[in-house]
Structure 1
Amino acid sequence: MSLEIALLRHDLRVGDNPLLCGPLSDHLLCVHVLDRAWLEPLAGPGVPRIGPARLKFLWESLIELRGELLRRGSDLLVRIGDPVEVVADLALHHGATRLRVRREAGSDETETVCTLGRRLRGRCAVVQVDGGMLFEEASLPIPVAALPATFSAFRRRVERTGQVPRARPSPLTLPPWPRGAARGLPALHALCARAAGWQADPRGAFRFVGGEKAGLARLDHYLWQSDGVARYKQTRNGLLGADFSTRLSPWLALGCLSARQVHDAVRTWEAEHGASASSGWVIFELLWRDYFHWAGRQEGRALFGARSLPVPGTAFRAWAAGETGTPFIDAAMRELAATGWLSNRARQNVASYLVRELGVDWRLGAAWFEHCLIDFDAASNWGNWRYVAGVGRDPRDRGFHVLRQAERYDARGDYVAHWLPELASLPPGAGRHRPWRVAPRRFPRPLAVPAPREDGEWPPAGPEA
């Protein structure tokens, strides 16, 4: 009787999951390992790589995934530890003949698979597959080694010659659990008890719930109930409310949804309502997400910068705490801490402010986002921060004048007053964004006032979006 292991990392779904499709062995052991290193303070900002918002979302996603696997005759084993040690021990203990794992863009995940391959050589085959994106490497119309330096060139090539395959259906049944194997999620209970008590601030107007079912429900709501996709191009720069953006990024980041599932759903909507600039923009952002994934695969560890993270100074700590004195920045950073999410417009502005106005190393900002965000995705997060810093694949100046941005996208100052209630007493308008001018006794000048520059613009990397 043959046995194989499916190592589920950022693919916590049963639909369109190549690890659960195709010819499988007689027995299947599905495993998720939460890397203990993610729970340890990260040099630089001094916080764990995974914060309470994402940890809770992960916990919810794993619980639902286990239920879906049980309904199909399988189960899910969850462990905390070194992924190499945990998976190698399971493979050798159960005599697994094959380990299946998705090929990731992150260098840590890549190194894990390489080390497992060396550890298991001659005893268990390690098979990597592509999944979760619009394209697999075999269907990508450009060799990864020849990936264009700009997204625009990638997009033109893909739209001209690429064809996105349809999502795979969910399997009806799966091979049974191996006899004598441990079951369930006990290792996470104590750890996630803390995360389970974390609650997003209700001012966030939207509650993210982990799991494939919740992701599909959000997709259905956005396309068919709110009809938000019909207005997306006009609303995507919004700051307040639940439906100005798709908010699909957390489910995409953890693999509770695949990009193809979203792509298929949007194309179905277009077949009934007609394609539009707004629906096309959602596909456009899925392409951005693919581009950053393939760029991350190509660049490896260079994606994260060449040196270790510096010790944060006063400016970084003020930025992270939402205490810079610039309301548009402080409101966004407080929303991020309180909800684990931030709109694309706000992300671009807080990143630009940290790098351009405060002169802080961009990698500290990327690491802080990694800790805070529910929808952290290594390739998109670090790729976007490199763009802001002008050290990415297309190193043009993309700095924002955040005060002009604030007055353009939050003309009345409703967003800043929403997250900074002390501003609500000021008249709606520009004064809420420059309170040191209208009420200098109450509001001191900020840490930095933006230098004159033209606003840069760049697209988001996948629907948070």
Structure 2
Amino acid sequence: MKSIVWFRNNQRVNDNISLAKACRNSEFVLGVYCFDPRHFAITKYGFKKTEKFRTQFLIETIQELKKNLETKNISLLVYYDKPENIIPKLVKEYKIDAIYSQKEWTSEEEKVSNNIKNQLQRVNFIENYDQFLFHPDEIPYKIKEIPKVFTEFRKQCEKTVSIQPENTIQKQAISNVIENITEIPTLKTLGFEAFETSSNSTFPFQGGEDQALKRLNNYFWKTHNISKYKQTRNGLIGTDYSSKFSPWLANGSISAKTIYWKLKQYETEIEANEDTYWLVFELIWRDYFKYISLKHGNKIFQLDGILGNKYDLKFNQKAFNQWISGNTKEPFVNANMIELAETGFMSNRGRQNVASFWAKEWEQDWRIGAAYFESMLIDYDVHSNYGNWMYNAGVGNDPRDRKFNIKRQAEIYDGKGIFQKIWL
């Protein structure tokens, strides 16, 4: 059998179910990745769907993916085109029998999948859920029964679910390698100018599977920072207040399972405490938002969210310009928004405050804030982004419907104003 592995947000060689299955079941395996022009287009709000920060990170990731696949004698063909334009041609050219890919379910991604399937009705599509810690086949719920409250979901899954082992692949025969004249696009090709990373960035790292593992090794074994993670995770300054794994998790250059099993190794060899557990806790939150997205579908993109609460939210362009440029009445909001604009990253504490300010203080349409985050964030993940925005806007999974006291938050988390001085 001849197979294509269509890489989406699973841009890694290790612990990649689609790649492992394709290698196990095929005598010929070809990797494909498409830089989809739609991802770099201007949105209806006037900014790009993907800005320069995540674009650069993606380019670096695909460069590393190509290199790592080559060590396994697998060629990665890379295109700047829509997948539905490219994959049917490759199927015909290489007489492909099967296409393996990560299962996606949000509407834009599903539409692309269906566009390809409609052209290739005789080709076998094998899609795998490969972005979870708790696999959908293992959780104690049907998708439509996922609890409304995170704590119930977490406790039941922790009690009943065993984390699956990682998947590995063997080196393929040298005959699997093909002549590859495709090129990975540059920033310029994708419509951006070259840029320097800000010296104040709390995420000065590069994209790619090797870089993710390097960061993990540093955060766990070199510094033991994981042993104080819960105490520092609400920080604002520097590279080490949190794990910073989220950008690599978002594009799948590392899996949640890999982090989990490395953490278990750390807990055995070094120490296990509340701080090390808290990283698992956060990985479960990430899972939960994916399950909420699976359960509710396009409701996560609607104004009244998954609760159906009717809010009179509006959109004021002047207010939006003030918010994104850091020109509001709240210095703490301004500092965080300027950090995002200049680095493509923002702390979790910052994200909650600026989202609460936009949706609750100014009562603006939260979806525009979410779309701006989608554009700017290096670690944009559709499920976590929209899940968190619904949560902060009061239309998601927070039964308390909180509104942040931003001045008080600034006093607690930036009492000496050091973070604000950096960016204002």
Q: Same fold (TM over 0.5)?
A: yes
Aligned residue runs from structure 1 range 442-457, under 5 A:
none
Q: Retained in 2: the 8 A contact 1:105–1:378? A: no
CA distance in 1, matches of 2:214, 2:334: 32
Separation in structure 2 between the aligned mates of residue 41 and residue 312 of structure 1, nearest angstrom: 19
Secondary structure of 1:28's counterpart equals strand
Q: Does 1:160 align with 2:152?
A: no
The residue correspondences of 1:103-182 to structure 2 (distance < 5 A) are 103-121=103-121, 123-169=122-168, 171-174=169-172, 182=180
Cα deviation 1:328-357 (Å, max 9, x = unaligned):
011001111111111100110000011111
**Unmatched segments (≥5 aa) in structure 2:** 305-312
Query: CA separation of 1:232/1:407 partners in 2, compared to 1, >3 Å: closer, same or farther?
Result: same
Q: Is the 8 A contact 1:28 1:177 kept in 2?
A: no
Specify every segment of 5 or more residues in structure 1 that has no aligned partner in the other structure, as ranges.
421-465
* Matched residue, 1:18: 17
1:238 Cα deviation after fit? 0.5
Q: 1:96 is matched with which residue?
A: 96
SS at match of 2:182: coil
Partner of residue 356, structure 2: 352
* Partner deviation per Cα, 1:89-146 (whole Å, 9 max, x = no partner): 222332211011101243211222233222211x211111111321222222322222
Give the AA of the match of 1:33: C
- 1:175 is displaced (CA, Å) by 5.7
Q: Normalising by the residue count of structure 1, what TM-score does the alignment of the two structures yield? A: 0.85
Give the deviation of 1:182 after TM superposition: 4.6
Q: Once the 2 structures are TM-superposed, how far is the Cα of residue 77 of structure 1 from its aligned partner? A: 1.0
Q: Give distance in 2, aligned partners of 1:139 and 1:389.
A: 31
Identity %: 35
Instruction: Find 1:292's aligned residue among 289, 293, 314.
Output: 289
2:225 match: 228
- 1: CA distance between counterparts of 2:181 and 2:136? 34
Per the alignment, residue 337 of structure 1 pairs with 341
Could you tell me which of 178, 196, 201 is aligned with 1:199?
A: 196
The amino acid that maps onto 2:261 is D
| Deviation by residue 1:406-453 (Cα, 9 ceiling, x = unmatched) | 001111111101111xxxxxxxxxxxxxxxxxxxxxxxxxxxxxxxxx
How does 1:237-386 map onto structure 2 within 5 Å?
237-305=234-302, 312-386=316-390
Distance 2:110 2:228 in 1: 39
Change (3 A) 1:261 1:180: closer
Q: Secondary structure at the match of 1:202?
A: coil
CA distance in 2, matches of 1:213, 1:74: 17
Describe the SS at the equivalent of 2:30. strand
Moved over 6 A (4+): 177-181
What value does the CA root-mean-square deviation take over the aligned residues? Answer: 2.0
Q: CA deviation at 1:189?
A: 6.8
Aligned to 1:62: 62
Tell me how far 1:73 sits from its aligned partner. Answer: 0.7
Aligned residues: 414
Aligned CA distance change for structure 1 residues 286 and 177 (closer, same or farther; 3 Å): farther
Looking at structure 2, the residues matched to 56 and 376 of structure 1 have their Cα atoms a distance apart, in angstroms, of 13
Q: CA deviation at 1:298?
A: 2.0
Q: Deviations over 1:25-65 (max 9, x none)?
A: 12111111122111111112x11111100000000000011
Deviations 1:364-405 (CA, angstroms, capped at 9, x unpaired): 100000000000000000111011111114453121010000
**Counterpart AA for 1:290:** D
- Asked whether the 8 Å contact 2:79–2:182 carries over to 1, the reply is no
AA in 2 matched with 1:364: I
Write the deviation string for residues 139-193 of structure 1: whole angstroms up to 9, x where unpaired.
Answer: 2232222211111111011011111112223x23136676876543255574258
In the other structure, the counterpart of 1:407 is: 411
User: What TM-score do the two structures reach when normalised by structure 2?
Assistant: 0.93
Cα offsets for 1:189-216 (capped at 9, x unmatched): 7425846x22221112441200000100
Rg: which structure is higher? Answer: 1
Q: CA 1:244–1:98 in structure 2 vs 1: closer, same or farther (change >3 Å)?
A: same
Partner of 1:456: none
CA distance 1:206–1:238, change in 2 (3 Å):
same
Q: Which SS does the other structure have where 2:14 is aligned?
A: coil
